[in-house]
């Protein structure tokens, strides 16, 4: 069974950093691009960014709202994708989902809540 | 950036009825690269439709997608109790960025 499990969320002060992890199982992780999508409380879905597989250079793309502050990386040996979030703002408060793919997203993890507040 | 507008914002129907959800793009979505997702309260989204009309694995055939260019539709032929949820469209023809619609809430009448 394909499974994605996010971890690392929590309460953080504005301006601080946080790193989220997405642990994958049930498929050959290194063959796939991985994406992050977030959802602010009571709001819709917002694409955050993705990282391509190593076969496609392992390059990354980001939404304008997080570019320069967030970094996505991957460790194929551990089947983990990371989202490093720096200079966090209150508007970054959201549930962060990890999902497989860079265009069509399937499946999704259960999400991890990040709350940015003083 | 392509903006997706979903309508209606909320749709109130009864089990057994037919649901028609609309997604309109601000410019043409290339190669019908449009997907639909279902999200139930407290759960992650689930892929229903990709390529505008192809059902994802395990999705019942009461769900169908259609459309091209700037106008797309998700149809649920006969509503089951478990279908009441929020539905999002997403375009990936002009990516990045991927963009989502604001969602349609399908509620029980």
Tens-digit pLDDT profile for residues A6-50: 999 999 999 999 999 999 999 999 999 999 999 999 999 999 999
Partner residue facing A97 (CB), from B44, B90, B96: B44
Nearest CA in chain B to A95: B44
Asked whether residue B94 carries a pLDDT value surpassing 80, the answer given is: no
User: In B41-94, where does DSSP find H-type helix?
Assistant: none
pLDDT at B4: 96
Partner residue facing A103 (CB), from B45, B56, B92: B92
Residue B98 vs residue A111, higher pLDDT: A111
pLDDT at B30: 82
Give the up-direction half-sphere exposure of residue A66: CA atoms within 13 A in the CB hemisphere: 26
Q: Which two tokens stand for residue B105?
A: 């809430």
Rounded to whole angstroms, how far apart are CA atoms B77 and B97? 32
Kindly give, in sequence order, each residue whose CB lies less than 8 Å from that of residue A42, ignoring residues fewer than 6 positions away: none
Query: Are the beta carbons of A46 and B56 separated by less than 8 Å?
Result: no
Kindly give, in sequence order, each residue whose CB lies less than 8 Å from that of residue B71, ignoring residues fewer than 6 positions away: B22, B23, B24, B25
Nearest CA in chain B to A51: B96
Q: What is the mean pLDDT of residues B48-70?
A: 96
pLDDT at B56: 97
């Amino acid at each position: 069974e394909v499974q994605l499990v996010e971890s690392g969320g929590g309460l953080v002060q504005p301006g601080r950093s946080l790193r989220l992890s997405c642990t994958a199982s049930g498929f050959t992780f290194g063959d796939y691009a991985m994406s992050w999508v977030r959802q602010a409380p009571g709001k819709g879905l917002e694409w955050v960014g993705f990282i391509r597989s190593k076969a496609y250079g392992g390059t990354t793309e980001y939404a304008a709202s997080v570019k320069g502050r967030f970094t996505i990386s991957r460790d194929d040996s551990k089947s983990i994708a990371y989202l490093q979030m720096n200079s966090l703002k209150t508007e970054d408060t959201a549930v962060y989902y990890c999902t497989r793919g860079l265009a069509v997203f399937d499946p999704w993890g259960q999400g991890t809540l990040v709350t940015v507040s003083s | 950036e392509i903006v997706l507008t979903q309508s209606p914002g909320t749709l109130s129907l009864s089990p057994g009825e037919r649901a028609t959800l609309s997604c309109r793009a601000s410019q043409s979505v290339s190669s019908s690269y449009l997907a639909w997702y279902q999200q139930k309260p407290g759960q992650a989204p689930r892929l229903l439709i990709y390529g505008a009309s192809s059902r994802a694995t395990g999705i019942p055939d009461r769900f169908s997608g259609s459309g091209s260019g700037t106008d797309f539709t998700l149809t649920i032929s006969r509503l089951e109790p478990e279908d009441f949820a929020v539905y999002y469209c997403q375009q990936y023809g002009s990516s990045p960025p991927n963009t989502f619609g604001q969602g349609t809430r399908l509620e029980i009448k």
